[in-house]
A = this chain, B = another copy of it.
């Protein structure tokens, strides 16, 4: 079944008639090898299937790898706080392999703080970077810089154009929108309804993210042929929060809205409070992510579904790929798409209890 013995550098050395030192130099391209020796070794390497022993490798080496994280300040937004939990899990996972993980935070609505955070990050000379690509265009120069210095980086949460990270970790946002639509379709009893997508104080920087979800949402309903469902959209801008309530209520009354799709994780709570206050309880609401407040709302029946983006695991996997690259030189898949998890009142506890996930 299994190969009898693992092949060691020593074996390769013997086979190619050189010393272990030379083999090591060839494998790691550390130069200082004659053309003749290099060819002999590479010939052998081609013929056999050598996998270095990770244990011996990190035990024998003093090199410490540093992976830097660049994310919005978790104190500002519970969503990013969730993602940070993945960092802690990663720390214990990789500590044995000399991997140091350092988060760098910036303020969501302050480009200046992004500038300075990314500067500090670069100063720390990381071997790799995991980043949530906020401030899209403005941050392009940051990714350029990483490219130039040959520092590998992985993106998560939102896929952005014109950048080619080593990998992207996240969900299919279009499909996420479709799923949200299908859940609302399930939850609203009859046809002949209006449903609406509610954009509540979304950062402009994320427009791609929410546009994709909206596209999926609308496509789902327009491809539905059994009933007439109208899709509208309500937009609540950044400092519009005072008029949020009146605007929302007005739209609901005018369009007879029966279903609300809220693509921001923190929008559900604001909305549910308004609906409750105005005694509008026959509404089907789909929100995002297992924030504590959202879990409450699900249990109390104020909202009907959540779609879980699993930000903590996104970070965990992002670091996994980076570590694998640094340690084994193993290429990550270009895209790792996460499952679109449907959370209801009846399965939410099972998600919260499952520690790992």
Residues of A within 8 A of B (CB): 53-56, 58-59, 96-97, 171-172, 175, 178-179, 182, 186-187, 189, 220, 317, 333, 336-347, 349-351, 353-357
Cβ of A157 to closest chain B Cβ, rounded Å: 16
Which residues of the other chain, B, contact A337 by a CB distance below 8 angstroms? 350, 353-354
CA distance A172 to B340 in the complex (A): 21
Q: Which of B186, B189, B349 is the one whose CB lies under 8 Å from A175?
A: B349
Q: How far is the CA of A212 from the CA of B7 in the complex (A)?
A: 51
| Contacts A55-B55, A338-B354; A178 near B346 (Cβ below 8 A) | yes
Cα(A127)–Cα(B192), bound, Å: 63
For the complex formed, measure the closest distance between the CB of A217 and the CB atoms of chain B, giving whole angstroms: 11
Contact of A357 among B53, B339, B342, B350 (CB under 8 A): B339
Please report the C-alpha to C-alpha distance between residue A187 and residue B172 in the assembled complex, in whole angstroms: 25
Please give, as numbers and ranges, the residues of chain B lying within 8 Å of A220 by CB-CB distance: 346
**How many copies of this chain does one complex carry?**
2
Taking CB atoms, residues of chain B closer than 8 Å to A340 are 346-347, 350-351
B-chain residues with CB within 8 Å of residue A189 when the two chains form the complex:
189
28 interchain pairs, CB-CB under 8 A: A53-B59, A53-B96, A55-B59, A56-B59, A59-B59, A171-B350, A175-B346, A178-B346, A179-B346, A179-B347, A182-B344, A182-B346, A186-B186, A186-B187, A189-B189, A317-B356, A333-B355, A337-B353, A339-B341, A339-B351, A339-B354, A339-B357, A340-B346, A340-B351, A341-B341, A342-B343, A342-B344, A342-B347
Q: Which 4 A-B pairs have the closest CB atoms?
A: A340-B347, A342-B342, A179-B346, A340-B350
Tell me the minimal C-beta distance from A273 to chain B in angstroms: 24
Residues of chain B within 8 A of A182, CB atoms compared: 344-346
Q: How far is the CB of A95 from chain B (nearest CB, A)?
A: 9
In the complex where A179-B344, A345-B182 touch, is A338 in contact with B317 (Cβ < 8 A)?
A: no
What is the CB-to-nearest-CB distance from A206 to chain B, in angstroms, rounded to a whole number?
A: 20
Write the nearest CB–CB distance from A181 to chain B, whole angstroms.
8
Q: A345: which B residues are within 8 A, CB to CB?
A: 182
Contacts known (A337-B354, A341-B341, A342-B342); A347 close to B175, Cβ less than 8 A: yes
Min C-beta distance of A100 to chain B, whole Å: 8
Give the residues in chain B near A179, CB-CB below 8 Å: 344, 346-347
Q: For A340, A349, A353, A354, which residue has the most chain B Cβ atoms within 10 angstroms?
A: A340
Contacts A182-B345, A351-B339; is A96 near B171 (CB within 8 Å)?
A: no
Measured between beta carbons, the chain B residues less than 8 angstroms from A186 are: 186-187
* Residues of chain B contacted by A343 (CB below 8 angstroms): 342
A172 partner residues in chain B, CB cutoff 8 A: 350
The closest CB in chain B to the CB of A216 belongs to: B346
A172 to B351, CA, bound (A): 11
**When the two chains form the complex, which single residue of B54, B171, B347 contacts A339, counting CB atoms closer than 8 Å?**
B347
Residue in B closest to A354 when the chains form the complex, CB atoms? B339
Our pick among B58, B333, B350 for the contact of A338 (Cβ within 8 Å) is B350
CA of A140 to CA of B343, assembled, Å: 37
**Minimal beta-carbon separation of A16 from chain B (angstroms):** 24
CA A342 to CA B344, docked complex, whole Å: 9
Report the separation of the CA atoms of residues A353 and B170 in the bound assembly, to the nearest whole angstrom.
12
Which residue from chain B places its CB closest to the CB of A178 in the assembled complex? B346
- Closest chain B residue, CB of each to CB of A181: B346
